């Protein structure tokens, strides 16, 4: 089994909260694919070290210290992702794993220099916000999951969930990337799949896929 570090726990809590609000111990276990007992042990340790506020059966909260720590880890991770994507030319489905291996090793100076070289990107290749050196988190434009769209028309991709390489790889195959314009042609009532057109090609995507793509509605 892979070694899961304190950093991984704190990042997981932080990232979950970015999207869904508070997190419970069993959700962390699920996210990191480890046992509930292992998570409980680590949470006690993190609480002792002052990184999380943890009470059984209640949600887990990052303390100010934990928040600062996690934010910096997430920042490092996402700057690496932009670097690997833009400079090295790696596809968006490959950068997460590589960035994960690199984020721990680099000095703050290297991260800051990379950020400057990349011209201070606000979002990573999946559309997740990159906290600044001062800890300021860029605001995402108003968006909704493609699956919750009520009307046909043009939309723009502003974020995708990055937890699964296969999912991201599939999106690339059908031409979906960040900032891409999608034409929604039909929303099928009976199975909630959606017929879209990208680059002049029609594809029917499942409701699961549509739930993990976030779009901004375009005014026509
Ligand atoms: Zn990412």
User: Rounded to the nearest whole angstrom, what is the distance from the C-alpha of residue 181 to the centroid of ligand 1?
Assistant: 20
Q: What is the DSSP letter of 86?
A: I
Q: Model confidence over 125-173: pLDDT tens digits?
A: 999 999 999 999 999 888 999 999 988 999 999 999 987 899 999 999 9
What are the domain boundaries of the chain? 6-62, 144-217
C-beta neighbour count of 14 within 10 angstroms: 20
Tokens of 158: 């502003």
**Is the CA virtual torsion 125, 174, 185, 194 positive or negative?**
negative
Ligand 1: centre distance to CA 59 (Å): 25
Q: Which two tokens stand for residue 137?
A: 């988190």
- pLDDT for 216: 93
Provide the 3-class DSSP secondary structure of residue 32.
Answer: helix
CA 74 to ligand 1 center in whole angstroms: 9
- Compute the distance from residue 128 Cα to the ligand 1 centre, in Å: 6
Report the pLDDT value the prediction gives residue 32, as an integer from 0 to 100.
83
Per CATH, the architecture of 6-62 is what?
Answer: Orthogonal Bundle (1.10)
Q: How far, in Å, is the centroid of ligand 1 from the Cα of 217?
A: 22
Angle between helices 64-82 and 6-20 (to 10 degrees): 90
Which residue(s) pair with 169 in the sheet? none
> What pLDDT does residue 215 have?
96
DSSP readout, 49-63? TTSEEE-TTS-EEE-
Ligand 1 centroid distance, CA of 57 (Å): 30
Q: How far is CA 69 from CA 55, 80, 109, in A?
A: 20, 17, 16
Residue 1 above 60 pLDDT?
A: no
Rounded CA-CA distance 10/28 in Å is 10
Parallel, antiparallel or unpaired: strands 60-62 and 213-217: unpaired
Q: How does pLDDT run across 88-124, given as a tens digit for each residue? A: 999 999 999 899 989 888 999 999 999 999 999 999 9
Alpha-carbon gap, residue 10 to 162, rounded angstroms: 17
CA 81–ligand 1 middle distance (angstroms) = 6
What is the 82 CA–ligand 1 centroid distance (Å)?
8
Q: Pinpoint the alpha helices (H) of 49-180.
A: 64-82, 95-103, 108-117, 165-173
pLDDT at 21: 67
Question: pLDDT tens, 193-214?
Answer: 999 999 999 999 999 999 999 9
CATH number of 144-217: 2.30.30.90
**Quick one: pLDDT at residue 12?**
87
- Centre of ligand 1 to C-alpha 18, Å, is 13
In this structure, how many other beta carbons lie within 10 angstroms of the beta carbon of residue 199?
10
Residue 8 CA to ligand 1 center (angstroms) comes to 14
From 104, 50, 112, select the one nearest 83 (Cα to Cα). 112
CA of 160 to the centre of ligand 1 (A): 9
For residues 178 and 108, give the distance between their C-alpha atoms in angstroms, rounded to a whole number: 27
155 vs 219, residue with greater confidence: 155
Cα 80 to averaged position of ligand 1 atoms, centre (Å): 9
- Which residues pair with residue 70 across a beta bridge? none
| CA 91 – CA 125 distance, rounded (Å) | 9
The answer to whether residues 205 and 197 touch, using CB atoms and an 8 Å cutoff, is no
Q: What are the tens digits of pLDDT across the range 27-75?
A: 888 888 888 888 888 999 999 999 998 876 677 889 999 999 999 999 9
Q: From the CA of 85, how far away is ligand 1's center (Å)?
A: 10
Q: Please give the distance, rounded to the nearest whole angstrom, from the Cα atom of residue 190 to the centre of ligand 1.
A: 33
């Amino acid at each position: 089994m892979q070694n899961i570090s304190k950093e991984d726990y704190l990042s997981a809590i932080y990232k979950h909260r970015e999207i869904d609000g508070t997190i419970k111990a069993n959700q962390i276990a699920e996210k990191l694919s480890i046992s509930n007992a292992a998570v409980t042990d680590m949470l006690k340790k993190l609480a002792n070290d002052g990184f999380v506020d943890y009470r059984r059966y209640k949600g887990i909260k990052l303390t100010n210290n934990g928040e600062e720590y996690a934010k910096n880890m997430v920042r490092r991770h996402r700057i690496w992702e932009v670097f690997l994507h833009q400079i090295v030319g790696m596809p968006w489905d490959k950068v997460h794993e590589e960035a994960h291996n690199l984020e721990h090793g680099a000095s703050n100076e290297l991260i800051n220099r990379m950020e400057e070289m990349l011209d201070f990107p606000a979002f990573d290749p999946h559309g997740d916000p990159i906290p600044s050196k001062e800890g300021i988190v860029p605001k995402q434009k108003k968006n909704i999951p493609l699956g919750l769209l009520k009307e046909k028309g043009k939309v723009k991709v502003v974020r995708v969930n990055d937890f699964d390489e296969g999912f991201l790889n599939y999106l690339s195959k059908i031409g979906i990337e960040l900032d891409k314009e999608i034409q929604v042609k039909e929303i099928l009532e009976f199975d909630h799949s959606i017929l879209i057109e990208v680059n002049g090609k029609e594809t029917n995507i499942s409701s699961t896929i549509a739930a993990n793509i976030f779009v901004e509605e375009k005014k026509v």
